[in-house]
């Protein structure tokens, strides 16, 4: 495979100087011959799964966080034998990553015993260590929730004097910001403690099964580890619980749950049983409503707790279903029985006892790691991130008050070290009683960056650059590239067609088996799922646990982004409805009302024009 040379990629006219929006080490360079050569000889691919859009300067925090975390675990903690870390670059706002191979076979040999001992320890004590992880993680989240972002008063409270505090709100603001950032980084340290080992177990279970059964669809392999209780469904379960309770309390008669949340809340407060239900809602909300409407990686992703209209529409749907006598529970027993049948049948087709032994051992390991691979997302990307983004917005309020930014979300156009710099400007000016210099520096810079982001969005990022190696050995990259590459190939086929209205077939990953026909409903964000009608086919950029209410109404799901382990695929498998995921362009090509034929077994969607 031939890809462009990283140093030949052109800067988009009008964005000259964009590099200052990101950390300097993210640039491809030509002034350092050694680095230049390394960059040319490495294989860089666009991480479109995590960054479907160009990255905002502040959002680079998570990229740096995982740049550090994944690489340190691979290279300095567990010593994955053939690979060091994963290197990162940004071109025109898009993130490219590259696994760094260990080239010397002797060095690889020296790393093997370390990995066996260290990773082996984690695999062996997985459940116990995972329980410890949960405690660490919950403590970190608690810290961020309790972190107070102080405002800067004209005059400090008297207690500062009488309690002899010895610190001002200015110092505390700087410290709170540092603490907030550090908590975020720490959270990502934990994020990768288990993840890559989890991926490795999954990848090589898949690899082994595919060697035994070359024609097995990947979907079947994931089905073998499905039906285990994972948090991904918890938010949805809470909605069902609240719907049942609303009926038990007779609230369904008095209150129309399909209205805006403010109206529902007012009615509930007026109803004698309303308080009881509101109390139950509070219990469900924290933390289960911290489900993000996106991947959680972008500041633009909102959680249910930010917009209660989304869960309310879900509750309304469930109330309706229960009253119609529909069973709203996931057919968990059925899924488990089917899972066990599939495992047993494949197992019985294995001809040698040796192979069966390896199969059993790899399956057990994959089943052990699977809950973490799923559940960490709720703790980190959903719960922690949702709280974190709002804390940053609290910081933004102060910057806005002092004129450094015009709108709250403008803060995300600044790098996190620029924010720190800006806060120093604010607190010193506040302490001194002068106007911060930043009020004239940042607003024009932010305006310019907005223009740059616009131009970035219109640019189409090449799937990969640099020199492709024969094989990749880094588990995270295998998973990510597996998803990214084949989808990019299919996507580029479609991009070649100049007239999108002429496209009648789309391809994606076979996310969940089955074939259905029905009307499409394109929902670009979670708040649009309220428009879904019973029996429609949901077409969405991607889904997340906050989209849960949608799955109670639809009969199939189609997404732009995501692999067979993505949220939409997992949920559809559990509900037994077809899904085609990672189509690249479905939301651009399909329009609401079109008749679709969705084949979740082959990954094909036919548009009946």
Partner 1 sequence: MNNSAAVLDTIPVSDRNRASSHSGGLPVVCWFEECHKDSVPLVGGKCSSLGELINAGVRVPPGFALTTEGYRHFMAESGLQQEIKSLLAGLDAQDMDALEQVSASIRTAIENQPFSTEMEDLVAEFYRKLSVRCCLPAVPVAVRSSATAEDLPGASFAGQQDTYLWIRGAEEVLHHMRSCISSLYTGRAIAYRANQGYHDEQMALSVGVQKMANSFTAGVMFSIHPANGDRSVIVIDSNYGFGESVVSGEVTPDNFIVNKVTMDIIERTISQKEIYYTVDQKSQKSIAIEVPFERQKVQSLLDDEITELAWMAKQIEKHYGRPMDIEWAVDKDLPFGGNIFILQARPETVWSQKQKTADVKSGVSAMDYIVSGMLQGKKLS
Where along the sequence are the contacts to partner 1 (CB under 8 A)? 1, 43, 80-83, 108, 112, 115-116, 119-120, 123, 200-201, 203-205, 207-208, 211-217, 220, 341-342, 345-346, 349, 351-355, 357-358, 361-362, 364-365, 468-473, 475, 478, 481-482, 485, 513, 601-602
Q: Which is nearer to partner 1, 1 or 458 (CB)?
A: 1
Q: CA 220, CA 223: separation in Å to the nearest integer?
A: 5
Q: Which is nearer to partner 1, 150 or 217 (CB)?
A: 217
Smallest gap from Cβ 363 to partner 1, in A, equals: 9
Buried b (16+ CB within 10 A) or exposed e, 86-116: bbbbbbbbbbbbbbbbbeeeeebeebeeebe
Smallest gap from Cβ 350 to partner 1, in A, equals: 8
Q: Which is nearer to partner 1, 521 or 555 (CB)?
A: 555
Q: Which residues lie closer than 8 Å to 162 by C-beta, 6 or more apart?
A: none
| Helices of type H across 534-585 | 548-551, 567-575
Q: Which residues lie closer than 8 Å to 79 by C-beta, 6 or more apart?
A: 111, 114, 115, 118
Q: Which is nearer to partner 1, 115 or 448 (CB)?
A: 115
Smallest gap from Cβ 236 to partner 1, in A, equals: 26
| Helices of type H across 125-217 | 126-146, 159-162, 169-212
Q: CA 60, CA 418: separation in Å to the nearest integer?
A: 12
Smallest gap from Cβ 470 to partner 1, in A, equals: 7
Smallest gap from Cβ 601 to partner 1, in A, equals: 5
Q: Count CA atoms closer than 13 A to 264's CA, side-chain side.
A: 21
Q: Which is nearer to partner 1, 122 or 456 (CB)?
A: 122
Q: Are 477 and 86 in contact (CB under 8 A)?
A: yes
Q: Which is nearer to partner 1, 107 or 248 (CB)?
A: 107
Q: Count CA atoms closer than 13 A to 418's CA, side-chain side.
A: 24
Q: Which is nearer to partner 1, 362 or 413 (CB)?
A: 362
With vertex at residue 174, the alpha carbon angle to CA 169 and CA 178, rounded to the nearest 5 degrees, is: 140
Smallest gap from Cβ 126 to partner 1, in A, equals: 11
Q: Which is nearer to partner 1, 32 or 340 (CB)?
A: 340
Smallest gap from Cβ 218 to partner 1, in A, equals: 11
Q: CA 492, CA 557: separation in Å to the nearest integer?
A: 22
Q: Which is nearer to partner 1, 83 or 398 (CB)?
A: 83
Placement of tokens 């409503």 in the chain: 289
Smallest gap from Cβ 558 to partner 1, in A, equals: 19
DSSP 497-534: -S-GGG--EEE-EEEE--EEEEEEEE-SSGGGGGGPPT
Smallest gap from Cβ 223 to partner 1, in A, equals: 9
């Amino acid at each position: 495979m031939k890809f462009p040379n990283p140093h030949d990629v052109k800067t988009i006219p009008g964005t000259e100087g964009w590099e200052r929006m990101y950390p300097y080490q993210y640039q491809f360079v030509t002034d350092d011959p050694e680095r230049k050569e390394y960059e040319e000889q490495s294989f860089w691919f666009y991480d479109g799964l995590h960054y479907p859009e160009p990255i905002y300067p502040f959002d680079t925090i998570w990229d740096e966080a995982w740049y550090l975390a994944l690489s340190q675990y691979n290279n300095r903690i567990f010593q994955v034998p053939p690979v060091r870390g994963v290197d990162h670059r940004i071109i025109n706002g898009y993130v490219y990553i590259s696994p760094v191979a260990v080239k010397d076979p002797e060095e690889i040999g020296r790393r093997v015993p370390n990995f066996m001992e260290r990773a082996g320890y984690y695999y062996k004590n997985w459940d116990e260590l995972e329980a410890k992880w949960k405690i660490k993680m919950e403590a970190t989240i608690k810290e961020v929730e309790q972190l107070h972002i102080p405002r800067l008063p004209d005059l400090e409270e008297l207690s500062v004097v009488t309690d002899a505090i010895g610190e001002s709100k200015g110092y505390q603001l700087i410290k709170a910001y540092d603490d907030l950032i550090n908590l975020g980084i720490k959270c990502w340290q934990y994020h990768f403690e288990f993840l890559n080992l989890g991926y490795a177990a999954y990848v090589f279970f898949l690899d082994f099964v595919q060697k035994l059964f070359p024609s097995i669809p990947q979907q079947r392999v994931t089905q073998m580890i499905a039906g285990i209780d994972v948090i991904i469904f918890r938010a949805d379960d809470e909605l069902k619980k609240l719907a049942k309770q609303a009926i038990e309390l007779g609230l369904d008669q008095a209150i129309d749950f399909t209205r805006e949340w403010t109206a529902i809340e007012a009615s509930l407060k007026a109803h004698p049983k309303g308080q009881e239900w509101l109390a139950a809602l509070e219990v469900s909300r924290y933390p289960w409503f911290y489900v993000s409407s996106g991947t959680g990686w972008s500041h633009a992703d909102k959680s249910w707790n930010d917009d209660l209209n989304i869960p309310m529409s879900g509750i309304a749907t469930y109330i309706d279903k229960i009253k119609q006598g529909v069973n709203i529970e996931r057919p968990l027993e059925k899924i488990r029985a089917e899972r066990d049948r599939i495992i047993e049948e494949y197992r019985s087709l294995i001809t040698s006892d040796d192979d069966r032994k390896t199969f059993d051992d790899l399956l057990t390991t994959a089943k052990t790691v699977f809950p973490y691979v799923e559940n960490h997302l709720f703790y980190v990307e959903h719960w922690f991130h949702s709280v974190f983004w709002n804390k940053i917005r609290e910081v933004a309020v102060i910057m806005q008050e002092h004129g450094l930014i015009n709108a709250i979300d403008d803060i995300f156009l600044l790098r996190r070290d620029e924010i720190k710099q800006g806060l120093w400007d604010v607190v010193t000016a506040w302490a001194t009683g002068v106007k911060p210099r930043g009020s004239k520096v940042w607003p024009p810079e932010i305006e310019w960056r907005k223009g740059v982001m616009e131009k970035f969005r219109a640019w189409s990022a090449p799937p990969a650059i640099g020199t492709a190696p024969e094989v990749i050995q880094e588990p995270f990259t295998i998973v990510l590239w597996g998803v990214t590459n084949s989808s990019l190939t299919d996507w580029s086929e479609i991009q070649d067609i100049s007239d999108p209205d002429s496209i009648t077939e789309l391809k994606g990953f076979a996310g969940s088996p089955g074939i259905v026909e029905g009307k499409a409903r394109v929902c670009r964000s979670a708040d649009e799922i309220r428009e879904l009608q019973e029996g429609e086919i949901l077409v969405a950029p991607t889904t997340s646990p906050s989209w849960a209410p949608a799955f109670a109404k639809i009969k199939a799901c189609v997404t732009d982004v995501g692999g067979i382990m993505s949220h939409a695929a997992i949920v559809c498998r559990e509900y037994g409805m077809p899904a085609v995921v990672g189509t690249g362009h479905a939301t651009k090509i399909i329009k609401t009302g079109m008749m679709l034929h969705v084949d979740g077994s082959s990954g094909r969607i036919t548009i009946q024009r």
